[in-house]
Amino acid sequence: MRPRVNLQEDVDLVGLPLEDERPVEVAPARVPATPGEWIRDNLFSSVFNGVLTVVTGALALYLGYQVLRWILVTAEWAVVKANLRIYMIGRFPLEEAWRVWASVFLVAVLGGLSFGVSGHRLRWTLRKAALRAALAALVVGALVFFLDGPRIWILTGSVPVLLAASLKAGRAGYERLRVPLWIGWGLAFPVVMVLLRGFGGVPPKLWGGFLLNVVVAVVAIFLSFPAGVLLAVGRRSSLRAVSSFCVGFIELIRGVPLVTLIIAGFNLLPLMLPSGMDLALIVRMMLIFTIFSAAYVAEIVRGGLQGIPFGQYEAARALGLSTTRILALVILPQALRSTIPAMISHFISLFKDTSLLAVLAITELLRAARRASAQLEFLGAKKEAVLAAAVLFWVVAFSMSRWSQRLERRLGVGER
């Protein structure tokens, strides 16, 4: 493998010693020599532990067998296979599906480059390699099983290939790519919108399935973050009008169930908008999710702000920095870093909450799944239909969680 030019910097960033793969040295005590010894030490160290091992082992085997048997034998996955397009893009016309693919490719390339630039790389140990191989086999198997025909195999298969290739390119480009990448991410959303809608594209009312969940969640996350930060800062403003507005807004929105807001966005919002301004339902829902999320982000950020010692403000003030710069350069960078776990947690739940759009008969993923299982030929396959939707949600939510852990590690530099 090519040695990394910026290895030292990278290591400093993570705050780990250079040889972070090396196990920490411990007292050279009982290292089990054989698998037999390991089993005796860890599973049968006493009679009671032996009984526990046998009982839980049997239970685990039984459950595992049942689940696997259901997944591989009993379950009728045809419902998912036949409705996969509805799951992913709803009523988005098939002949326009290339627009979605183009968007996915764009995000894959940007994501790969970003990971590469931030020094991400796959570490290959024997265990990890085996784990990855098993995972890859599972994914490939599922894709071949669920996806119809070589065209879609190739399209789907190119996503990980693109990701890997741009990761490598990102690692090679390192510093040079940093600024272009920020610009790229900044443009990504408008570009995707144009791709989906522009030049004879598909109107939002035809967007559906997982695409819809993702688009609504992404818009809400990226708009509610700055909005929430502003609300949190505004809440502490010495101007009474500003702070009262922020407190009022936050408390009002937090005090109402999301479903209520969604229904209000459906019924009430059109009445409140100036006449002639006709927002598509999906756009209104993006707005509702943004407002909802902003209130929670504001409270999370408030928690972060409270954790900043007063001395930080004083030191910044003593240097002659203006209030805005103190916030932007000293306070917020620290406050936001400490809120990453809570923030990502909130965003994950926001993402899953997009399934509440089903109450408006919008065909997002969950409703798509239930509709699929209501088709005459798939009656009785509801478990399979909903489980498939759940797996999709889980994969994205889990990725977000892993990404946040990475982010925390990367930003945990020099923490006091």
| Interacting residues with another protein (CB under 8 A) | 12, 309, 311-312, 314-322, 325, 329-330, 333-334, 337, 413-416
Which residues touch 85 (CB under 8 Å, ≥6 apart)?
92, 94, 97, 209
Nearer to another protein, 109 or 326 (CB): 326
Nearer to another protein, 42 or 322 (CB): 322
Nearer to another protein, 15 or 32 (CB): 15
And the tokens for 86? 């509805």
* Nearest distance, CB of residue 411 and another protein, angstroms: 8
* Nearest distance, CB of residue 309 and another protein, angstroms: 8
Rg (CA), the chain: 25
Nearer to another protein, 76 or 408 (CB): 408
Nearer to another protein, 46 or 324 (CB): 324
And the tokens for 19? 């040889």
* Nearest distance, CB of residue 238 and another protein, angstroms: 12
Alpha helices in 326-364 (DSSP H): 332-338, 340-353
Within a 13 Å sphere around the CA of 295, how many CA atoms are in the beta-carbon half?
A: 19
Rounded to 5 degrees, φ, ψ at 364 are -80, -175
* Nearest distance, CB of residue 181 and another protein, angstroms: 21
Q: Which amino acid is residue 239, in one-letter code?
A: L
Which residues touch 99 (CB under 8 Å, ≥6 apart)?
195, 196, 201, 202
* Nearest distance, CB of residue 314 and another protein, angstroms: 6
What is the C-alpha separation between 176 and 117, in angstroms, rounded?
9
* Nearest distance, CB of residue 227 and another protein, angstroms: 23
Nearer to another protein, 20 or 415 (CB): 415
3-state secondary structure (DSSP) of residue 364: strand
Bridge-partner residues for 209, per DSSP?
A: 364
* Nearest distance, CB of residue 296 and another protein, angstroms: 24
Q: What is the 3-state composition of the chain as percent helix, strand, coil, each rounded to the nearest 5?
A: 80, 0, 20
Nearer to another protein, 49 or 322 (CB): 322
Considering only CA atoms, which of 67, 78, 79 is closest in space to residue 370?
79
Nearer to another protein, 257 or 309 (CB): 309
* Nearest distance, CB of residue 229 and another protein, angstroms: 16
And the tokens for 91? 């009523």
Nearer to another protein, 285 or 332 (CB): 332
Pair 298, 232: CB distance under 8 Å: yes
What is the C-alpha separation between 337 and 360, in angstroms, rounded?
36
Nearer to another protein, 41 or 314 (CB): 314
Which residues touch 382 (CB under 8 Å, ≥6 apart)?
370, 373
* Nearest distance, CB of residue 329 and another protein, angstroms: 6
* Nearest distance, CB of residue 403 and another protein, angstroms: 20
And the tokens for 198? 């522009």
And the tokens for 46? 């006493």
